[in-house]
Amino acid sequence: MEINITSLVSEDMFQFSHSRAEGGQNAGEDTWNAALNGPRPLLDSPEALEAMRDWARDSGGWEEEEILAWDDNELQALFLQLIAGDCRECPALEGGRADSLDGIDWEAYYADENSSGRLIKSGNEIFYYLGM
């Protein structure tokens, strides 16, 4: 499922995904709290919320009971962190790695065989492929 994430184009993704080396000992808690309070809604239908649950199941990172216990806000937060992590691995226009969707060097991203391939730019819109 492709989810339109154009609304995040100028969001600073660092706040939603960074390491302890970048943000200190509380990086995990800080990024999770930022994601819990981040822009909404990204997953804007029951089908999109279920696609996120399916992604979590397929990833093998959580038990079924955990996945079923997540409320909609936690699913939104996890999705936001997924987007942010992928964005921050993208090549930036000015070199290095991108901290926002509008900072991605799309030509280099598409040419990089190691990119996730989940971010898709189509005209002025950006989508995220939520699937395995």
Question: Contact 69/75 with Cβ under 8 angstroms?
Answer: no
Please tell me the predicted confidence (pLDDT) of residue 131: 85
CA separation (Å) from 87 to 37, 46, 118?
A: 19, 25, 10
- pLDDT at residue 114 tops 90: no
pLDDT 10s digits, 1-49 = 999 999 999 999 999 999 999 999 999 999 999 999 999 999 999 999 9
Q: State how far the alpha carbon of 63 is from the alpha carbons of 59, 81, 107, 110, in Å.
A: 10, 19, 37, 33
Q: Measured on CA atoms in the order 14, 79, 41, 104, is the torsion positive or negative?
A: positive
Structure tokens at 64: 């079924």
d(CA 28, CA 127): 25
Each residue of 56-104: pLDDT tens digit? 999 999 999 999 999 999 999 999 999 999 999 999 999 999 999 999 9
